[in-house]
Structure 1
Amino acid sequence: MTLRSLSVLGDAGAVKKTLVGCLTYMVLFIIFLIGSCYANSQWCGLGLSQLEELERKGVQYGDVMTFFEKRGQPLCFHAPSGLFEVEKSQTPDVAIWVADGSDLLTWAASATKLAALLSSGELLPRGRLVIVINKMGSVSRSEKRFKDAVHVFSVLNLNYR
């Protein structure tokens, strides 16, 4: 199985660590279904003993990244399309840009910052760029609010190839 790099960037208040922690935490259930996952000869995702430790310590999704970093383990997870290792990279295979969905006043600045990173070459995803509007649960989720977010990001030229 191919290991691909994933970078998670975005707004300061958009709970990026929580998103990464959630992806990593949930891999445990997939591992039970498909067997062991290894990346670069290291365990990928959470093992049962690590899951027990996280739960015993009351670690939340947002703290999972720190949990892995303290152990020097790769922060990775299994997705239907393969294994992903979260890393800080200018040229990841996949980049996720996370915007704070609870504060629509920051969307334009977020989109502008993303466009600047792409046009300057500071961020050059080799594969996909995914824009995530996070924290929508803290506001009234609606189709209109989602369309507004899509509009803000689509009016800028986010072409990076």
Structure 2
Amino acid sequence: MSLLSQRQKNILLQLATRSDGLKIKDLADLTAASKRTVYRELPLIDNFLKARRIKLADHNGVYSLEGKKDELEKLLGTLYSQSSKPELTVRQRQAAIVSILLLDDQPRKILSLALRLEVSEGTIQSDLKSVEKALLNYGLQLRVKKSCWC
């Protein structure tokens, strides 16, 4: 389960607790995300579910989970048992990235930062662009190596 971000876990929990399904707008409202973000997360969630023999079904724009009752119950139990850490704001996450990069003596891969902060690699890449601009104000710059930032 650790390969899902907190947002993905929240979307999945909403779907797992509603047998009648949800529209993208409803998922966005319930998880405090944009509709575009929810659309972007669904393929990742679908891949996660396939490994558990659960289908993310789309019936005319209404999304629901389909699978054997025991598999769905197991998924729900896993979701409820996860420690629910509060999600960092963008600013807090960017500060964490700066701290990690400054304290490490080795370059960091984007995937490593994504797993540590429980967000997608795309989110880390976006954050790194913002961090890079902010660090210039202090005369600091990030060095980019193939797949690494330091």
Query: TM-score normalised to the size of structure 2?
Result: 0.30
Structure number with higher helix proportion: 2
Query: Greater relative contact order: 1 or 2 (C-alpha under 8 angstroms, separation 6 or more)?
Result: 1
Query: TM-score normalised to the size of structure 1?
Result: 0.28
